[in-house]
Structures are given as C-alpha cells and as structure tokens.
Amino acid sequence: MKNNVFPQVVKLSHRSILGMLRQPQSWAPGLFFPLLLAAVYSSQFSRAVTIEGFPFADVSFLDFVLPACVIQGVLFGSTNSASDLAADIENSFMDRLLVSPVSRGSILISRLASAFMYGVAQATILISIFAAFGANIAGGAPTIISIVVIAALLSVSMGSFGIAIALRTGSQEVVQSTFPLIFVAVFVSSAFFPVQLMEGWYGAIARKNPLTWVIDPTRRMTIHGFSWNDLGQSLGIILAIASVGVGLSIRQLRRRLVRAQ
C-alpha cells in the first residue's frame, strides 16, 4: 500500500477538506471580516485616494483594498488545516495513521492540499462578492486567476508554518495562538493603506514586510491590469516563504516519526 501514494493523498486530502467544511466556525470569520472591512473602508476612506502622494489615480478605494482583503481572508484561515492536524495528534488519530501502512508524506501533502483548496475557495468567493458590489478588476480573467493562485499558494505557505507548529507541539491551542502574528503581519503592511503615506518606524517596517511585497504587485495587477512581472514578484516571495515553511514541516514530521518509533 505504501507504494500507492497518490490515492492515499487523495483520500487524506478529501478527509481534510471535509473536516474543514464541517466546521464553518473556522472558515466563516475569514469570509466575514474581510468583507466587513472592505464595506466599511470603501465608505470611510473613499476620499483617501485624493490625498497627495496616493500612488493610484482615479481608483476607487474598493478596488484598492480588494487584493488586501482577499489575502487577509486567506491568511486568517490559513491555520485551519494545521489546527485540524493538531486535533488529529491530540485525539490520537495521528498515532493510528502512523501504525497504518500509509505514506508519511501523504499526511503532510494532504494538509497542504487542504490549505490550497481553502485558498482557492476563499479567494473565488471573495472576488465574486467584490465584483457583485462593483469592484473593477483590470485585466479580467488573467488577473482574477492570478489573484486566486496567489491566494491559494499564500494559504499553503502560511499554512505550512502552522503545520510545522502543529507537528512540533501537537496542540490546537498553540496553533491558534499564532493568529495574532498573522493579524499584526497584515496590518503592518500595505494592506489597507499605501506605504508611501505611512510615516516613521511604522512605515519603515511596513515597507520591509514581505506581505507588502506580495500585496503591492497584486494590487497593481488589480488596478492596472495583468503583468507577468507583478505575478512573478508575488509568486517569487510566496514560494520563498513556502520553501521555508514546508522545509520546517518536513523536519518536524521526521522528528515526530522518530519519536513515534
């Protein structure tokens, strides 16, 4: 059975995705809060685009915050699959998996696949709602597909850090306690306001935040249209983050396997 990895990955991924769908309390906030912030900010800060130095001319604030809200929604739910993995460890399902002839890699891949699917679904739903409320996405389908791919891969990359923590600690509580870090990372970035208009140390940190380097090119695509350069920049940063996260996850999985023997 160990040789048949693909069916195992499919089965375990199916289980992970079903598990997530059955817990709306874990993914609903990731839909609700970005929509609330977008609705509120597009009304509250609609005149902000007229401030001198605002980097985009003739743009609505809804268009401006669209990519940030999609990324925020995906990030808020990015630890869901890690939290489910920690639950498996807490309730000993992981031990049962480990005594079965299942491929060890499929345990990790299935959770990453679940994070990917979550990102795809979340981004698609959010973009659809934004479009229904009048958001204008320049570049049409290529830009929309790019945003969905960026969101899904970002969900995988941030989720992989959560998975590493879940494998290391085996605690849902610890995994969920990383949420404030994500919250801080989103707010101290160009997500809701351009870094060009931020001042002092706060602006300096926001400019160096890797999320800014993901959000800015995604935003340029949303406002100016699809560009391979912008897509490449976003994906490059995300893949760099993912390589670290997935590397840590593999290391923690190996450590857990050694401990389990």
| Cα–Cα distance measured from residue 25 to residue 228, given in angstroms and rounded to the nearest whole number | 37
Tokens linked to 168: 């290391």
Binding-site member from 4, 7, 11, 46 for other proteins (CB under 8 A): 46
Residue 180 in contact with other proteins, rule: CB under 8 A: yes
For residue 202, the minimal CB distance to other proteins (Å) is 3
43 binds other proteins (CB under 8 A): yes
**Residue selected from 3, 47, 57, 259 as contacting other proteins according to rule CB under 8 A:** 47
CA–CA gap between residue 103 and residue 119 (Å, rounded): 25
d(CA 40, CA 21): 28
- Report, in Å, the least distance between residue 50 CB and other proteins: 8
For residue 21, what is the enclosing H or E element?
helix 5-21
Distances in Å between the alpha carbon of 5 and those of 11, 103, 104, 106, 135?
10, 6, 9, 7, 43
- Nearest to other proteins of 5, 129 (CB atom): 129
Alpha carbon distance 135, 64 (integer Å): 9
Work out the number of other CB atoms within 10 angstroms of the CB of residue 205.
15
Q: Which is nearer to other proteins, 65 or 149 (CB)?
A: 65
CA 223 to chain centre: 21
CB of 191 to other proteins, least distance (A): 8
Q: How many residues sit close enough to other proteins to count as binding (CB under 8 A)? A: 32
Check binding of 31 to other proteins (CB under 8 A). Answer: no
> Site for other proteins (CB under 8 A): which residue of 109, 206, 211, 253?
206
Place of tokens 């140390």: 201
* CB contact at 8 A, 212 and 189: yes
In the complex, the smallest distance separating the C-beta of residue 33 from other proteins, rounded to whole angstroms, is 7
Task: Kindly state the smallest distance separating residue 229's Cβ from other proteins, in Å.
Answer: 27
Among positions 203, 225, 227, 250, the unique one binding other proteins when judged by CB under 8 A = 203
Tell me phi and psi for residue 60, to 5 degrees.
-85, 155
Of 84, 73, 91, nearest in space to 113 by CA: 84
Least distance to other proteins, CB of residue 186, Å: 9
Rounded to whole angstroms, the Cα distance separating 212 from 190 reads: 5
Q: Are 45 and 68 in contact (CB under 8 A)?
A: no
Candidates 192, 211, 231, 249; binder of other proteins (CB under 8 A) is: 192
**Cβ of residue 177: shortest distance to other proteins, in angstroms?**
10
Nearer to other proteins, 119 or 194 (CB): 194
Q: Which amino acid, 101?
A: P
Among 5, 10, 15, 29, binds other proteins (CB under 8 A): 29
Q: Does 52 bind other proteins (CB under 8 A)?
A: yes
17-150-176-64 Cα dihedral, nearest 10 degrees: -120
Binding flag, residue 213, other proteins (CB under 8 A): no
Residue numbers at the binding site for other proteins (CB under 8 A): 25, 29, 32-33, 36-37, 39-40, 43-48, 50-53, 180, 183-184, 187-188, 192-193, 197-200, 202-203, 206
